[in-house]
Chain A
């Protein structure tokens, strides 16, 4: 498996279709992420480098196991006057989700993607701080990896819990990876 940074639109389109087709073959729908349109998100990636799309893919690019879009800087809620890398979207391939596929092909894609978000944050001089608005079913995961719930998102995210990994917890999180 390898990391793809800002992969080609053709690949992203193919991977997203694979996820939908795989779910359809199981008689399932994509659910809360059905409208996410990763291809459309990829088009937001510009030359400024403050929005990045990361993909975990097989070495031959044939399958994608997880996608994440990060942007920076986002104001930190835990560090006064500080900033964080913000995970705008994160989606794991359906065959890696316990709720859908108990056998899971890979079992740590969420942790791995958040690790990369932390590394981006360090690279961007944000001390490893990462924040995001969690979908309800993922809140337990973010709590377990040391992120702190701090209110709700803003605007259209106001119904979602806002989580942040503080700089002081970065080392502990990475040691657990």
Chain B
């Protein structure tokens, strides 16, 4: 069952701990593997934030 079918049939999207990933999905999906790292804050950007938090104490 695809994600879309889940949405249409159940109209609920509550994820559950331990929920199994459909193995057919794992076989089929190929996003090119470019998602080495997703989001937010490269190190050079985050480090000053950490220093500022320490200084604020």
Contact = CB atoms under 8 A, between A and B. Distances in A.
A32 interface: yes
A77 to B, nearest CB: 15
A100 B36 contact: yes
The B contact surface, by secondary structure, is loop
A2 B31 contact: no
A110 B31 contact: yes
B45 A157 contact: yes
A2 B29 contact: no
Contacts of B30: 107-108
Interface string B5-40: 011000011111111110101101111111111111
Interface in A122-177: 122-123, 132-135, 137-138, 140-141, 144-145, 153, 156-157, 159-160, 171, 174-175, 177
B29 to A, nearest CB: 2
What bracket does the count of chain A residues touching chain B fall in? Answer: 35 or more
Interface residues of B, number: 39
Given A3-B17, A5-B17, A119-B13, A138 B29 contact: no
Contact of B35 (A34, A88, A123, A141): A141
B15 A138 contact: no
A20 interface: no
B7 A122 contact: yes
B41 A157 contact: yes
A35 B25 CA distance: 31
Contacts of A112: 21, 25, 29
